[in-house]
Chain A
């Protein structure tokens, strides 16, 4: 006699639990959709040193970068190097913003602004007289391609020592600009002082061609190509982040590898 009654109880239980679970599931789906819409439509950050990213995503980018830097960045982590034969003969070229055409070497001097405001004017010959460092490594573009290329120049750490910039090197950032200031990068000091960071004046054992940043460019293997500024016009030091071309266009400021 009580069999039908018991069945309704099970049925009721099934209905009740299904109703509650699907209700909660619906709330979850609505919440997830709402959160996504909020994020997707979130306004861009206030333009400053960085621009062009959704404000919450920029926050996440910065925090994530700091997390990975603290977790893993180590000066002794060297970028893998390759034998000379593996270096590309035709070196890929992506952009000439700030480096159009060829700059007559005699019209070029590197300007370095010291902490006390003094400006050092350094010629290419002064740089070339110092010990040359060569590197053959896998250059990586933020777009996703990479290419083994061969560069020669002055180690940035040697440059600091030779020109008496130790005080400046205690600051947090290096800023570099092209002579026309159309392209510029900001580099954190540990990456700049990394033993494989070069002020390069040679590619494949010849003077840099125009489109690869003649006469002097930055080669910083611990960063994506966007940080490897071509044709350095001036160098500054600061404790705040210097302006950076691609960080103003939504890319991560650090862009480290």
Chain B
């Protein structure tokens, strides 16, 4: 029979859906800023494979000559990005939700099994709680990346007043590279995330809006075996 199973707490859903548009605006305004000194590329042995970014891309998104506007948007939305992120982290710690999110000692081995399962190489997936091992690693990484963006961002924003952050990030240049690389990381995360959400189906997606999942529960056997090794 169908049962309603509570999955995602309201604050998780709220911070998730605040973060999505805010991060989008941060990436967009960041591109407006980056354009003014677009020096990064993928170059190996003197051959440039890809330039961040090609002209057609800039023109398509109407990026050129908007540095001051980009800075103005970036320095407003950084507040929402940071506060929303901290709110989520503090909530996760206080509520104990981090138990479901942080990788544990089995996660790294299991994540590989999850990948094999997702690629249809392996038939069974390892047992999981709210998040599977691969999700634990991915979602914990994305939170750490968010923190990284705040720290590298401050290191580039105020390299004199926050000189210790700039030092921590390996200097002004490296801080700017990290800040950029993290952004590329978000884009990759987003692509994989969207793909996985589509593959996981409606029940899973709905839970991030409604908070619950619907499960078909078998009538319980008289003797319960507990093999939850979380």
* B117 at the A interface (CB under 8 A): no
Contact of B73 among A57, A145, A222 (CB under 8 A): A57
A-B contact pairs, 9 of them (CB 8 A): A14-B212, A17-B210, A25-B209, A32-B21, A53-B69, A72-B161, A74-B161, A77-B160, A77-B161
A231 to B172, CA, bound (A): 28
Chain A 1-30 against B: per-residue CB contact (8 Å), 1 yes, 0 no?
001001100110110011001100100100
Q: CB-nearest residue of chain A relative to B76? A: A60
Q: CB-nearest residue of chain A relative to B38? A: A144
Distance in angstroms from A229 CB to nearest chain B CB is 18
Give the B interface residue count (CB, 8 A).
37
A142 to B34, CA, bound (A): 11
Q: Is B72 touching A144 in the complex (CB atoms < 8 A)?
A: no
Which of B3, B17, B21, B210 is most buried by chain A, counting CB atoms within 10 A of its CB?
A: B210
Contact of B1 among A7, A32, A252 (CB under 8 A): A7
A58 to B68, CA, bound (A): 11
Contact of A257 among B68, B79, B160, B209 (CB under 8 A): B160
A80 to B173, CA, bound (A): 14
* B136 at the A interface (CB under 8 A): no
Cβ–Cβ < 8 Å partners of A68 in chain B = 157-158, 161
* A210 at the B interface (CB under 8 A): no
* B159 at the A interface (CB under 8 A): yes
B-to-A contact residues, CB < 8 Å: 1-4, 17, 21, 25, 33-34, 36-37, 39, 67-69, 71-73, 75-76, 79, 157-163, 172-173, 176, 206, 209-212, 214
Q: Is B72 touching A60 in the complex (CB atoms < 8 A)?
A: yes
A13 to B5, CA, bound (A): 12
Q: Is A256 touching B72 in the complex (CB atoms < 8 A)?
A: no
A79 to B172, CA, bound (A): 12
**Which 9 pairs show the lowest CB-CB distances between chains A and B?**
A144-B37, A250-B68, A72-B161, A21-B210, A57-B72, A143-B36, A60-B76, A257-B160, A143-B37
A-to-B contact residues, CB < 8 Å: 3, 6-7, 10-11, 13-14, 17-18, 21-22, 25, 28, 32, 36, 52-54, 57-58, 60-61, 64, 68, 72-74, 77-80, 138, 140-146, 221-222, 246, 249-252, 256-257
Distance in angstroms from A194 CB to nearest chain B CB is 9
Cβ–Cβ < 8 Å partners of A11 in chain B = 2
Cβ–Cβ < 8 Å partners of A13 in chain B = 4
A251 to B74, CA, bound (A): 12
A7 to B157, CA, bound (A): 57
Cβ–Cβ < 8 Å partners of A252 in chain B = 71-72, 75
Query: Known: A10-B3, A144-B36, A251-B68. Contact between A21 and B211, CB under 8 A?
Result: yes
Q: CB-nearest residue of chain B relative to A250? A: B68
Distance in angstroms from A116 CB to nearest chain B CB is 35
A140 to B160, CA, bound (A): 11
Cβ–Cβ < 8 Å partners of B163 in chain A = 77, 80
Q: CB-nearest residue of chain A relative to B212? A: A17
Cβ–Cβ < 8 Å partners of A28 in chain B = 17
Distance in angstroms from B211 CB to nearest chain A CB is 7
Cβ–Cβ < 8 Å partners of A57 in chain B = 69, 72-73, 76
Distance in angstroms from A203 CB to nearest chain B CB is 21
Cβ–Cβ < 8 Å partners of B73 in chain A = 57
Q: CB-nearest residue of chain A relative to B78? A: A64
Query: Known: A249-B68, A250-B68. Contact between A79 and B160, CB under 8 A?
Result: yes
A3 to B2, CA, bound (A): 11
Known: A7-B1, A13-B4, A257-B160. 6 other contacts (CB 8 A): A22-B210, A25-B209, A79-B160, A144-B33, A144-B39, A252-B71
Query: Known: A10-B1, A21-B209, A60-B75. Contact between A143 and B158, CB under 8 A?
Result: no
A14 to B210, CA, bound (A): 9
Q: Is A61 touching B210 in the complex (CB atoms < 8 A)?
A: no
Q: Is B158 touching A25 in the complex (CB atoms < 8 A)?
A: no
